[in-house]
Amino acid sequence: MLKLLNSLAGKFDFWYVDFFLFSYEFSTALLCRVLQLSIPDSNVAIVVSLIGAIVEMGVRVLYYVMFIRFGWNKDGIWETQEDINAYALRAKFRVADAANDMVVEYLSSITAGIFLLQFQGTGAFSFASTNIVPATTIYLLVGIQLIPEVVLDWFVTFLEIYGGLSAVHAAHWNPKTGAYKIHPSFYAGIGDLPKSAALKILASVLVSWVALMGCMT
């Protein structure tokens, strides 16, 4: 997926590529969370949640280490400006991907919890099981998903910021990044973050609606 997005970055603005990455991850994560929260055995659901959080952290650290190792292998020797630009773009993808991972995990878990709380007893929707999961269990499972996620996200973000990507993080979260200060078009004066955030909100609503319709019996 990252290779595909890397190819799109040269043809589309980065904010659009960032939005595309978020939409892909949210659509898959939401379905997984709905299935996970509706597992009849809460102990199994807890184990799945914890293992998933640990695996996700491991994958993020692995990709970050691969990124850093690639830079170290260059030992300060870059053949062309294109190579430098490609590595800088790779840094932007690392930060954008990590940011999307965090938002997706929180949003998909909360959305899946709302699905089950509101619709599992109506008889119009079928989730992973026909058994009704108690509300207290849903709250517990969502909490177990979110609390370790916050800790692991803090740890990995700490590694990235103090490992050389602080400027990239600052630029990614700056609403003015990518905006043209002097441009006759109002649209061009909007930064990458507001543009991608607006599209992500719309995508979240659309994907949630499609997923809910897919659960209808």
More confident residue, 2 or 191: 191
Question: pLDDT of 118-135, one tens digit each?
Answer: 888 777 777 777 778 888
- Encode the chain in three state secondary structure: CHHHHHHHHCCCCHHHHHHHHHHHHHHHHHHHHHHHHCCCCHHHHHHHHHHHHHHHHHHHHHHHHHHHHHHHHHCCCCCCHHHHHHHHHHHHHHHHHHHHHHHHHHHHHHHHHHHHHHHCCCCCECCCCCCCCCHHHHHHHHHHHHHHHHHHHHHHHHHHHHHHHHHHHHHHCCCCCCCCCCCCCCHHHCCHHHHHHHHHHHHHHHHHHHHHHHCEC
Split into its structural domains, the chain has a count of 1
Question: pLDDT of 58-82, one tens digit each?
Answer: 888 888 888 888 878 777 677 788 7
Instruction: Return the pLDDT at 201.
Output: 92
Domain carrying residue 43: 2-214
Q: What is the pTM of this model?
A: 0.84
